[in-house]
Structure 1
């Protein structure tokens, strides 16, 4: 039996390192992405992380099939983001362990970009008849964790609250609707115009609507390099028109809370 549940994830700071940035500054993704969320869920139920070069970690092997959905958090009238973006700061520090640099003295000077007070709503589809997923369901519901979860770095511990579960159905657009989560944008914008994959309802514009775009990891490649595979995501408070073309691989779901989300 499958259930969709949600939790709100919060942290004082976060660092979701972009693998293509290094010198002179380490940059972070703005939005929580699926591989990072799976790592958080794996820590909660005590699954092992990366242990050996060239081997996929246990948590990923067991959880990679999960369908998830993610959105920047808004709750009780409070918005933790600005038009989809979180505040960021620059942190500078020295790594003096002697193991991080071959320079004289073994001192590595690091400059990192960090998220400030990031918060996300995460929906997860769980098969309660699967032992691992049933354990995750119970741990999320009871606020238990085997390992302390963190947001990108072990000094950036996180917590979650507001566990909820939902009845759901596949959503087929009829009229104007809004997607309450990040969703995958499969077409590009050409000459400043949106392709028919989705059409914004311009009549909903009230001066405070926004479109947020970010290319985010959705999985690891199967090669031994374990590089990310990416998709282009959108988050918006604009309403969409009925002729939004459903992605071929990722369904929209309507929840008993009346939220419409895309799970991937």
Structure 2
């Protein structure tokens, strides 16, 4: 099997956690699948929420079946609160129309991303990226955070039927059993995984990243070069 591989990075990133919106806006600790689908939609020129005419925005409707694996290139990314003014006039009802915004940003984030080449949309995406074609500018959560996409290539992947290894990518928490007796690092977080069909809001799934050894798995683990990865 074949997959598209690339590095996605930026100076900063902001993937808003919608459950907290008072005093300060917080970010998820890693990029998630719906955010990546938005980047892919920008590359391919698909429309978003502004021109939505069906259950889902066009980009999500076309790309939701893509199989994606995400490897954070550091164990964790630094987060910093940024304070800035939004003075467009309609941002605040206060005198002067100025709104003071506080956001938590990821600093110098970087991920290695794999997209399984398994359907027409994945082939179309791979062709655009390999040939450096992009319709709209991709960004990391908001247009304040331009995305840098580089080291793009095709790689061969194969199913890894013998575990006893570390999983390098973010993995569904309930999908893999790890031996935690010798663990030195563990990151867990509920991240968006898909859009709910009725509410058009993100559904969350718990993910894990650890250097513990995987003993057995309910999901398929793939070998990509020297990495063991899981697609979602």
TM-score, normalising length from structure 1?
0.81
Structure 2 counterpart of 1:57? 57
Is 1:263 the equivalent of 2:205? no
Q: Are positions 1:102 and 2:74 aligned together?
A: no
Aligned residue in 2 for 1:253 = 222
Q: Which residue is 1:68 aligned to?
A: 68
Task: Give the distance between the partners of 2:190 and 2:27, measured in 1 at CA.
Answer: 12
Distance across 1 between alignment mates of 2:9 and 2:230: 21
Query: What per-residue deviation string (whole Å, max 9, x for no partner) do you get for residues 51-101 of structure 1?
Result: 15785211111100000010112xxxxxxx3xx210111111121112222
Aligned residues: CA RMSD = 2.0
Give the alignment of 1:13-24 within 5 angstroms. 13-24=12-23
2:187 maps to what in 1?
A: 212
Q: 237, 240, 252: which one pairs with 2:214?
A: 240
Q: Counterpart of 1:51 in 2: which secondary structure?
A: helix
- Structure (1/2) with the larger strand percentage: 2
Partner of 2:117: 126
Contact 1:169/1:254 (<8 A) preserved: yes
Q: Quick check: 1:186 aligned with 2:174?
A: yes
Give structure 1 stretches of 5+ with no counterpart: 74-80, 188-196
Closer, same or farther in 2 for the Cα pair 1:112/1:150, shift >3 Å?
A: same
The number of equivalent residue pairs is 231
Listed one character per residue, the Cα deviations across residues 107-136 of structure 1 (whole Å, up to 9, x for unaligned) are 2211111111110111101236x1x43321
1:11-34 residue CA offsets vs partner (Å, 9 max, x unmatched): 011000001111110000010100
Q: CA deviation at 1:35?
A: 0.2
The change in CA–CA distance for 1:149 and 1:166 in structure 2 (over 3 A counts) is same
Contact 2:116 2:122 in 1 (8 A): no
In 2, Cα distance between the equivalents of 1:117 and 1:199?
Answer: 29
How many Å separate the matches in 2 of 1:53 and 1:40? 17
In structure 2, stretches of 5+ residues that fail to align are none
* Secondary structure in 1 matching 2:103: strand
Is this contact kept in 2: 1:179–1:261, CA < 8 A?
yes
Shift of 1:179: 0.9
